[in-house]
Structure 1
Amino acid sequence: MANALQLENDDNQISDNEFHAISRLVYKNFGIVLGEEKRSLVVGRLHGCLSKRKISSFSQYLNLIKSDMTGEILSELVNQISTNFTSFYREASHFEYLADKALPEVMKMLSSRRSNDLRIWCAACSSGEEAYTIQMTVMKKLGLQYGTMNAGLLATDISAKVLDLAKAATYTAEQVATVHPDLKKSYFKVLPDGRHEVKPNVRDQILFRRFNLMNETFPFKTPFQIIFCRNVMIYFDEETRKKLIGKFYELLEPGGYLFIGHSETVPLDCTRFKAILPAVYRKPF
């Protein structure tokens, strides 16, 4: 006899009301737009959550979320819904520009006011590959000078699940295939099982924290010189994107840089950012 609780990966298993309720909940809390084309994705990704709790409907799951004062089930929801594809040196031209242009300009800015406070934020770090790529790029470029800096990287994500992976800092040989052999030698340790672990001299420079980009207030008192927020705004609607870009603008120092995904754009009619390269913007002085 079939398990009465079993849900098949079929969008017929979720009613219109249930899907729209989940869509509203996800948009309200995380800014992610779930259109009708995402219906099957929602069913497929939440199937395991219902099975784990031995419940047979999405309405029951929604009721659990509403009654859960800890926020744990809501966190589980975004862990399942959010897309976390990433890789080392993804969209590599950004890291070339960071090393060759943006970082030298930022160092000039700091030198002009005799500051050594280098502040970089990776605002959607996923499982850590992007954050470690930024950190390796900075350390390689600055060399011994890095040790004289009050430097470090803030890396945030909405998903506690991927943040745990980022903090573990351990990746398969396939995952680090895009890292240059010299950088692997300098910044990774090969484990007995063949996986690669980021060395402490890199890992300890990154502060991983859970943070929701939909928060009304951002708790950062000191501005950043560089912000990476790549391949996340594609899931937001135009109003949410504009609001977030405005916050990034306020959080950057004059002369600071914003890096976004190549499939994303900053609407220049509603911001003072200056376009530098595809998906690279600078705040004017």
Structure 2
Amino acid sequence: MAIAAWSGLDSMSNMDDALYLQWKTLLEDRTGMILPNERRSFLTTSLGIRMREIGFTDYQLYYEHVLNGCEGAIEWATLVDRLTVHETRFFRHMASVEMLRELVLPQWMSEDEPPGTIQCWSVGCSTGEEPYTLAMVLDHFRETDYCQYYFGITASDISLASLATGRKGVYHSRKLRDVDAVLRGKYFRRVSDTHFEVNEALRKRVCFAQLNVLEMEHVPIGKVHLIICQNMLIYFDRKRRIEILNNLVEHLLPGGVLILGAGEILGWQPPIIEKIEFNDTLAFRRLPSA
């Protein structure tokens, strides 16, 4: 499809209710994300910005474009980046970090046979701050508590652009505002007046991979000790959240831990897991006998 040049003066077409429902349904079918009506302006604004960039002024024509063959598939991938990426930073939820440091890791290390390898999965990792935070916690705990274990982290997200940022490991200083001076000096190096780079040793511990949570049955990830899935479930309805969580639990080793965002799910607890009691957190442990 030929794209007409946009002069910068042409007005955008209106998005009526039927067209809004069409876009909303496409987003849900392809990503599982539910877009409440109060976020209609977010959708129209995000679409409008992208449409102006590539020369479209009509929402219907752009809709047909993203459904059109390989070119449309490439454009859809770019659009999904715009619609799904959320703001994050290092050590965003300190209560979960403290639970790992004070409860989960000490318990694992006190077992008769503590794990020699700790495998982790960051689900909906966005631009990488969450898995790198986890890597810092695991590495620093290993050194300060004189523990002997290897660790690796799989970080997954639907956004290719976010994954590329994570692999590069370069972040604006505002993303590091909750990183204390010791960890900042140990795991980052300044690359400009405003940006820092995660050191190579830590980057090698994190493997970034694209994953659509609607296709969990095809995930090539085995059993892991720890899964973190925070600030992602809010985009889905309750039925989809439970489907995602049930699949995640199946990837936990006995004794493995699932950490969610506080308040992201209520009334869900399969019989093979138990809730971990720790202030301001929502986490579950897979029962050893499960």
Aligned to 2:64: 63
Amino acid at match of 2:60: S
Q: SS at 1:13's partner residue?
A: coil
Is the contact between residue 138 and residue 151 of structure 2 (CA under 8 Å) also seen in structure 1?
no
Runs of 4+ in 1 over 4 A off after TM superposition: 144-148
Aligned to 2:27: 26
What is the CA-CA distance between 1:220 and the residue it aligns to? 3.1
Q: SS at 2:176's partner residue?
A: coil
Is the contact between residue 154 and residue 208 of structure 1 (CA under 8 Å) also seen in structure 2?
yes
Unpaired runs of at least 5, structure 2: 1-6
What is the CA-CA distance between 1:128 and the residue it aligns to? 1.2
Amino acid at match of 2:267: P
Aligned to 1:91: 93
What is the CA-CA distance between 1:274 and the residue it aligns to? 1.5
Q: Measure the CA separation in 2 of the matches of 1:200 and 1:145.
A: 23
Q: Measure the CA separation in 1 of the matches of 2:267 and 2:125.
A: 23
Q: How does 1:6-85 map to 2 (within 5 A)?
A: 6-7=11-12, 13-69=14-70, 71-85=73-87
Aligned to 2:286: 283
Q: How does 1:109-258 map to 2 (within 5 A)?
A: 112=113, 116-143=116-143, 149-258=149-258
Is 232-241 or 135-144 further displaced after alignment? 135-144
Q: SS at 2:70's partner residue?
A: coil
Is 219-228 or 265-274 further displaced after alignment? 265-274
Q: Measure the CA separation in 1 of the matches of 2:16 and 2:32.
A: 22
What is the CA-CA distance between 1:115 and the residue it aligns to? 5.2
Q: Measure the CA separation in 2 of the matches of 1:101 and 1:270.
A: 22
Is the contact between residue 106 and residue 256 of structure 1 (CA under 8 Å) also seen in structure 2?
no
Q: Measure the CA separation in 2 of the matches of 1:67 and 1:280.
A: 42
Unpaired runs of at least 5, structure 1: none
What is the CA-CA distance between 1:266 and the residue it aligns to? 4.9
Aligned to 2:4: none
Is the contact between residue 272 and residue 283 of structure 1 (CA under 8 Å) also seen in structure 2?
yes
Q: SS at 2:217's partner residue?
A: coil
Q: CA RMSD in A?
A: 2.3
What is the CA-CA distance between 1:83 and the residue it aligns to? 4.0
Deviations 1:176-202 (A, max 9, x none): 111000001111111243421111111
Is the contact between residue 13 and residue 43 of structure 1 (CA under 8 Å) also seen in structure 2?
no
Q: Measure the CA separation in 1 of the matches of 2:115 and 2:82.
A: 42
Q: Measure the CA separation in 2 of the matches of 1:216 and 1:175.
A: 30
* Shift in alpha-carbon separation, 1:116–1:170, aligned structure 2, 3 A: same
Deviations 1:137-169 (A, max 9, x none): 000001189996442111111111211221221
Amino acid at match of 1:245: L
Q: Measure the CA separation in 1 of the matches of 2:134 and 2:230.
A: 12
Amino acid at match of 2:87: F
Q: Measure the CA separation in 2 of the matches of 1:223 and 1:92.
A: 26
Deviations 1:212-251 (A, max 9, x none): 1111514235201100000110110011001001001100
* Shift in alpha-carbon separation, 1:6–1:163, aligned structure 2, 3 A: farther
What is the CA-CA distance between 1:73 and the residue it aligns to? 1.8
Is 148-157 or 37-46 further displaced after alignment? 148-157
TM-score (norm 1): 0.89
Q: Number of residues paired by the alignment?
A: 278
Is the contact between residue 5 and residue 54 of structure 1 (CA under 8 Å) also seen in structure 2?
no
